[in-house]
Amino acid sequence: MGPNQRHFSVVEQSSTPVLTVESPGAEGNQYGFEGGRVLKLGSVYHLFTSEMAGDPHTVKMTLAHWTSDDRRSWTRVSSLYTSSGEFDGKDPRASLWAPMPIYNDEEGCWNLFYVAYRSAPDTETAYRTNHEGRIWRAMSAIKGPGGIGGPYEDVGVILEPGVASDPWEGLQGTDSFFPYQVKETWYALYGSANTEKKPVRSWRVGLAAAPSLGGPWKRCSDLNPLLIEPVFIENPIVTQLADGCYVTVYDAGGEHIGCAFSDDGVHWTRGEPIAVRPDDPSSWARRIRTPLGLIPEASDTFTLFYTGIQRVRGAKSPVGPSVCGIGFVTVRLR
């Protein structure tokens, strides 16, 4: 089956979020949950998420680890990292986002990739709330798959803005990073945007490559930016299917989750939508935010977790900073 012949259809929808700021364990989380990844080890689901802990909104962050046995009831295990929340543009780790755990057979341990930003108030001409994003790599102190919960020890920055950046990368810096292996080579989808000038016309992703998970990582500039989406694509996560094909799910701008396919992990199809939100004004999510990855289940089905901006109870329009919960759908590959 070629990549253009594959499609996902929704076969089950969660009518309510499974994790919110009101959930046990979420005390102290003021604005909810954002990007990260869910994966499954044995019968246990592991969530790595960006918690929007406090003010400044989307700046004061905690990267956290949660677990579940049934997809619906979650237990908070630990805080992995907490950002400083500094808002004068001085601290390169003022805001931390998008923790992505990847197991490395070569090292026999988990690697955790995450984004660190400088943060400052926006101006009339530029978005500076989170800018100059850099990708940090950390390694689990405990060897083997059981070390997934950490603790994690930082190794260093593996991709950052600078002279090697492509022209489509801007003040945003590197805003997401997800590595995956294709034979002997590691590739990663990474994102950026020209946020130095309002209005921002597009958020895009490119491809980077490395001989090993630890790097050195280099941009595949002759292929970038990828043409999966012409206007908006953010936070892609890649899964290899049983037949060897690769699929990525990503934030497509608020109405749905996007997905695209690749036979070789390098050249990708144009994106198509996965309608994870019911066409219902009472749906818990008034806007879709970030996918948390595809998890293979039984009979060609997958669990797709995602974050969404929750409706404000009793309000006809959003009130104050948005609050995000986590829901899921079950999808079938056809």
State pLDDT tens for residues 218-260.
999 999 999 999 999 999 999 999 999 999 999 998 889 999 9
Interatomic CA distance for residues 167 and 122, integer angstroms:
22
Residue 1: pLDDT band (50, 70, 90) is low
Structure-block tokens of residue 303: 């669990």
Residue 144's CATH number: 2.115.10.20
Q: Is the pLDDT of residue 71 over 50?
A: yes
Q: Is the pLDDT of residue 316 over 60?
A: no
Q: Is the pLDDT of residue 67 over 70?
A: yes
Mean pLDDT of the chain: 93
By residue range, what is the domain housing residue 52?
Answer: 3-333
Predicted pLDDT at 317? 44
Amino acid at 330: T
The pTM of this model reads 0.95
Residue 4: φ, ψ to 5° = -75, -10
Interatomic CA distance for residues 211 and 195, integer angstroms:
31
| pLDDT tens profile 115-154 | 999 999 999 999 999 999 999 999 999 999 999 999 999 9
DSSP 173: B
Residue 85: pLDDT band (50, 70, 90) is very high
Predicted pLDDT at 3? 60
Structure-block tokens of residue 187: 């590739």
Tally of domains within the chain: 1
If you average pLDDT over residues 77-89, what whole number do you get? 98
**CA torsion 223→228→232→237, rounded to 10°?**
-90
